[in-house]
Structure 1
Amino acid sequence: MKHDTDIVRQLDQAEDTFKRGRLRAMQRMAVGLLLLAAVLFAVARALRDQHPAWGYVAAFAEAAMIGAMADWFAVVALFRHPLGIPLWHTAIIPNSKETIGSNLGAFVENHLVTEDGVAAQLKGADLAGRAGQWLQVPENAAGAGKVLASVLARALERVDDERMRAVVREFAGAELAKLDLSRLAGGYLETLVGNGMPQQVLDNVLEKLITWLGDEGNHDTIGEFILRCFAIDNPMIRTMVLGYAPKAIDGLREQAVEIRMNRDHALRAKVGDWIADSARRLQSDPAWQAGVARYQQGALENADLQAALGGLWGGIRERLGAALQGGDPAVQAFIGSAVQDGGRVLAEPGAVRDWVNGAIEAGGTALVRRYRGEVGKFIERQLARWTREEMSDRIELAIGRDLQFIRINGTIVGGLVGLLIHALTQAF
């Protein structure tokens, strides 16, 4: 696949070949007129004695040859030495290469690329509106979206991870600190009460407790637990407690079974009331709210939680990078849609479109102001890279064809002037 620069170079060469062909055609036409004038002069001189009219023809042809040769010399002297003879003040363009480059650069900078000129051109161009219309085409929006995604992906690779971890940690911590955990927890508990969840939780707890109490292998553990709770060290009391423990455990298990089976048991209502009261206090009791807030603040200051919040950036970067590089079609579609929406906004007359055009205009004039002096130097440096022959050839290709009309006009006008002079001479 050819590079864009190769294609441009080939197009330039093709254009140069075309211009050179047209130039050669005009040169042949000018030379043809000169030869025609010479032939006409020879014929007229040979037949001048046969009729007075041939004298007029000879005068026309002679003056035409003089005009053609004079203008040929003038045109050729611009680009090279006529016939290779280094006559004074010939090959003007090659010999004035540096002066031409300097003057051309100054002219462009002072009269073409000016702040007012650039501002007027940008103001009339409405680049924002044109960009908006272009971006409204789905294919263009999709292409621009891919470019934007690629730019964002590359920018993401250059992000300072340590700095971003700190930013994410601070942002996430600040957002979590804004949460009213008391009201959230109270509202959640109210929802649980309304859905009967406390009773379901209680049923699960009772079933586990009944099973655990019914396992005789756990009775010794329960007895030791009772002894530790009451700090019983007396051997006799210990024996009595351990001997009574199985009956106490059976009674406790029977009570748990009763509560589990009886949906109207008083303890069930008390559990619901406790949770409902806690929900109300979480949402309205300043003391409870202050306690939750202290716990929340302490949790946010925990080193492990801070490290976890900072670690969020790693996952965000990984997923975002994969999405921008084409791993997530939904993200690509979102970016393309966003670009198309942006184009729609730019295409509609309004403050956004005016602001973007104003920013482009201000940026253009600022660039001209900032780089004033550089434009002329740039043109001068570019022309300095050409050889004298190359510069002469390029200028001749650009305007040489039009200059051949000077030779053609010189031939015709010279002949007419010669004819006029001869006629006046004959008359007076």
Structure 2
Amino acid sequence: MTLPAALIATPVDAERAAELRRVKWLATGVLAATFVIFIAAKALLPTHPVFGFIAAFAEAATIGGLADWYAVVALFKRPLGLPIPHTAIIQSNQERIAEKLGEFIENNFLEAGPVEAKLREIDFGSFIADWLRDRKRSEDLARFVLRMLPEALAATESSGLMTFISRRVTTQILAIDLAPLAAGALRGFVQEGKHGGLLDDILRVLHQTLTQQETMAVIRDKVRAEMPTLLRLYRADKFVVNRIIASATKFFEEVRNDPQHPFRGEFDRMLLSFVDRLGSDKAFADRIEGLKRDLLARPELANLGRTIWANVKDFLERSASGESQVLQHQLTRMFVEAGDALDGDADLRSEINQGLTAILRTVVAEQKSGVSSFIADQMKSWDMEQLISLIEVNVGKDLQYIRFNGSLIGGLAGLALYTLEYALRLL
């Protein structure tokens, strides 16, 4: 497997490779120079004792340079291509290095303490708020959500999820005992005094209905049909109807204008009596339950549900295709407003930070061994010759200076030892 893009050689690495070659030639030149000086000084040693010191320095410098050359080369490859044990260290230990690197990262970077401390430094809430407040990003997010909706709807239909949801909703509705809920709602309605306005509305509607010409004509026909013929001849029906309507409308006005009217008390008692029966009378409960089941069994309700779903689906598909921009604009506005609200709510941002920290900490704790194995497996699959070349390009220059240091330190050590030997011979 080749190296990942982040590790492939760059133009900068090419410059470093050229510099590495220059330093290598320089270090090799120094090694060759010390060897030549050693040979020359040995040859000139009979002419003057000073050449002994030069020869000692050059000899030790040559040995030190050769030793460090061997050490540097053995780190990356086999010196002179010879199968010498314990050479090409990086290449020979690829799997072990990969395993140790994975373990090192797992034990030192993915431990719960350091991970949690680092996560707590991140203000996730502010990042989300700033991200959503950017209208361009919110538009992109809205567009992405809309593109995903048709596929989600298709998957929902093909998977039978809609049927399952419909059955679950129907089951839950059937399990609801509506009688106590209705009784509680009506009792609260009465206790809050809202029924007074309802009574006023009923009286107003009755007054308007009774005073309409059509209503009066119907009542007059009914009264005329019940009256004796003699009274009909004298058109007593009109008088009776007018008196009935006048009395009724006057009564309605009195009740509407008098908050303490006795009829209001009777209306309260009637409602409360109905509420009590609704909450305790099994006949009422059975009747409501039957109405509920009949309503849910109506084919019109199923057709209505399918029609609503088809319309919603069509609207979402048109929004996803860009034919309609209404939903996208609404989603964008919603996301931007959510970002503004989050930016102004420090407590909510703190809760988001704590929640994400807990989630990510748990994820890292559960997956850190997998991360370690992934890193190790990736390194094991890399082309080590390519990786070694890249490592050598980036750190090889510094390693070449070890050869210079080896020659210098070795030469000085050889000179010191030769000086000590020369001094002992003079004693």
Same-fold call, TM > 0.5?
A: yes
Q: Note the residue ranges of structure 2 that are not aligned, 5 or more in a row.
A: 256-261
Q: Which amino acid is 1:180 matched to?
A: L
Q: Which amino acid is 1:255 matched to?
A: K
Structure 1's 13 and 89: CA in aligned 2 closer, same or farther, altered over 3 A? closer
Q: 1:394 aligns with which of 387, 405, 409?
A: 387
Kept in 2: contact 1:59–1:415 (CA 8 A): no
Aligned position for 2:331:
332
Structure 1's 114 and 199: CA in aligned 2 closer, same or farther, altered over 3 A? closer
Deviations 1:377-422 (A, max 9, x none): 3333333333xxx135325524653243222232244134314533
Q: 1:361 aligns with which of 351, 357, 364?
A: 357
Name the stretch that deviates more: 184-193 or 373-382.
184-193
- Number of residue pairs matched by the alignment: 381
Give the TM-score taking structure 1 as reference length: 0.66
Pairing 1:270-349 to 2, within 5 Å after superposition:
270-271=248-249, 273=251, 276=255, 281-285=266-270, 286-287=272-273, 298-299=287-288, 301-302=290-291, 303-307=293-297, 322=315, 327-329=326-328, 331-345=330-344, 348=346
Q: Note the residue ranges of structure 1 that are not aligned, 5 or more in a row.
A: 1-7, 214-221, 231-240
Kept in 2: contact 1:44–1:55 (CA 8 A): no
Aligned position for 2:186:
180
Aligned position for 2:71:
74
Structure 1's 289 and 421: CA in aligned 2 closer, same or farther, altered over 3 A? closer
Structure 1's 41 and 9: CA in aligned 2 closer, same or farther, altered over 3 A? closer
Q: Which amino acid is 2:89 matched to?
A: I
Deviation at 1:332, TM superposition (A): 1.0
Structure 1's 141 and 113: CA in aligned 2 closer, same or farther, altered over 3 A? same
Identity of aligned residues (%): 22
SS in structure 2 of the partner of residue 90 of structure 1: coil
Deviations 1:238-265 (A, max 9, x none): xxx9xx69x949947x718x96xx7xx5
State the alpha-carbon separation in 1 of the partners of residues 109 and 6 from structure 2.
Answer: 27
State the alpha-carbon separation in 1 of the partners of residues 332 and 233 from structure 2.
Answer: 66
State the alpha-carbon separation in 1 of the partners of residues 129 and 94 from structure 2.
Answer: 45
Kept in 2: contact 1:101–1:380 (CA 8 A): yes
Aligned position for 1:255:
238
Deviations 1:198-224 (A, max 9, x none): 2355314346649x96xxxxxxxx9xx
State the alpha-carbon separation in 1 of the partners of residues 337 and 233 from structure 2.
Answer: 69
Aligned position for 1:116:
113
Aligned position for 2:8:
13
Kept in 2: contact 1:79–1:91 (CA 8 A): yes
Name the stretch that deviates more: 174-183 or 68-77.
174-183
Name the stretch that deviates more: 104-113 or 369-378.
369-378
State the alpha-carbon separation in 2 of the partners of residues 95 and 296 from structure 1.
Answer: 84
SS in structure 2 of the partner of residue 87 of structure 1: coil
Give the TM-score taking structure 2 as reference length: 0.66
- CA RMSD for the aligned pairs? 5.0
Corresponding position: 1:379 with 2:394: no
Kept in 1: contact 2:102–2:376 (CA 8 A): yes
Kept in 2: contact 1:177–1:296 (CA 8 A): no
State the alpha-carbon separation in 1 of the partners of residues 115 and 19 from structure 2.
Answer: 39
Pairing 1:49-60 to 2, within 5 Å after superposition:
none
Structure 1's 10 and 141: CA in aligned 2 closer, same or farther, altered over 3 A? same
State the alpha-carbon separation in 2 of the partners of residues 289 and 106 from structure 1.
Answer: 72
